[in-house]
Structure 1
Amino acid sequence: MADRLRVIQWATGNIGTRALRAVIEHPRLELAGVWVSNPDKAGLDAGALCGAEPTGIRATGSVDEACAIPADCVLYMRQGTDIDEVCRLLASGKNVVTTRGDFHHPAGMDPALRQRIEEACLAGGTSIYSTGSSPGFVTEALAIPLVSLSRRLDCLTIDEFGDCSSRNSPDLLFNVMGFGQPIGDFDQRQADHVKADFAASLSQLADGLGLVIDCWQAHGEYAAARTAAPIAAGTIAAGTMAAQRITIEGLAAGTPRLRFRANWYVSRDIDHPDWDLRESGWRIRVTGDTPLDVGITFPVAPEHYAAFTPGLTAHRAVNAVAAVCAAPPGIRTTVDLPQVLAHLPAQSSAHSSENLPT
Structure 2
Amino acid sequence: MTQAKSLRIIQWATGNIGTRALRRVIEHPAMELAGLWVHSPDKAGADAGSLCGLPDTGVIATSDSAQIIATPADCVLYMPQGTDFDVLCALLASGKNVVTTRSDFHHPRSMDPAIRERIEEACRTGQTSIYCTGSSPGFSTEALTIPLVSMSRRLDCLTIDEFADLTSRNSPNLLFNVMGFGAVPGAFDQHRADHVKRDFAASLSQVADALNIAIDDWQAFGEYSPATRDVQIAAGAVKAGTIAAQRITIEGRCSGVPRLRFRANWYASSAIENTDWNLRESGWRIRIEGDTPMEVNITFPVSPEDYPSITPGFTAHRAVNAIAAVCCAAPGIRTTVDLPQVAADFG
After the TM superposition, which residues 83-162 of structure 1 pair with which residues of structure 2 at under 5 Å, given as runs? 83-162=85-164
Structure 1 alignment gaps of length 5 or more = 346-358
2:238 aligned to 233, 236, 240, which one?
236
1:196 and 2:198 correspond: yes
Taking the aligned partners of 1:231 and 1:2, their CA distance within structure 2 comes to 50
Secondary structure at the counterpart of residue 205 of structure 2? helix
TM-score by length of 1: 0.96
The letter for the 1-side match of 2:260 is L
**Residue of structure 2 equivalent to 1:304:** 306
**Residue of structure 2 equivalent to 1:178:** 180
2:78 aligned to 73, 76, 79, which one?
76
**Residue of structure 1 equivalent to 2:43:** 41
Q: Which runs of 4+ in 1 moved over 2 A?
A: none
1:20 aligned to 19, 22, 27, which one?
22
Tell me the alpha carbon deviations over residues 14-64 of structure 1, each in whole angstroms, 9 at most, x when there is no partner.
Answer: 000000001011111111010000010001111001011111111011001
Taking the aligned partners of 2:302 and 2:106, their CA distance within structure 1 comes to 29
Taking the aligned partners of 2:336 and 2:59, their CA distance within structure 1 comes to 31
Taking the aligned partners of 1:308 and 1:179, their CA distance within structure 2 comes to 24
How far apart are residue 327 of structure 1 and its match?
0.2
1:32 and 2:34 correspond: yes
Tell me the alpha carbon deviations over residues 44-103 of structure 1, each in whole angstroms, 9 at most, x when there is no partner.
Answer: 111001011111111011001111110000000011000000000000000000000000
1:280 and 2:279 correspond: no
**Residue of structure 2 equivalent to 1:59:** 61
Taking the aligned partners of 1:332 and 1:167, their CA distance within structure 2 comes to 35
How far apart are residue 330 of structure 1 and its match?
0.3
How far apart are residue 172 of structure 1 and its match?
1.2
TM-score by length of 2: 0.99
Taking the aligned partners of 2:40 and 2:305, their CA distance within structure 1 comes to 27
Taking the aligned partners of 2:207 and 2:33, their CA distance within structure 1 comes to 32
Tell me the alpha carbon deviations over residues 138-192 of structure 1, each in whole angstroms, 9 at most, x when there is no partner.
Answer: 0000001000010100000000000001111111111111111101110000000
**Residue of structure 2 equivalent to 1:166:** 168
How far apart are residue 334 of structure 1 and its match?
0.1
Taking the aligned partners of 2:202 and 2:17, their CA distance within structure 1 comes to 21
The letter for the 2-side match of 1:261 is R
Taking the aligned partners of 1:185 and 1:297, their CA distance within structure 2 comes to 31
**Residue of structure 1 equivalent to 2:218:** 216
Secondary structure at the counterpart of residue 135 of structure 1? helix
Secondary structure at the counterpart of residue 334 of structure 1? coil
**Residue of structure 1 equivalent to 2:270:** 268
CA RMSD of aligned residues (A): 0.6
Taking the aligned partners of 2:30 and 2:258, their CA distance within structure 1 comes to 42
Secondary structure at the counterpart of residue 302 of structure 1? coil
**Residue of structure 2 equivalent to 1:352:** none
How far apart are residue 2 of structure 1 and its match?
1.4
Structure 2 alignment gaps of length 5 or more = none
User: Identity over the aligned pairs, expressed in percent?
Assistant: 71
The letter for the 1-side match of 2:110 is G
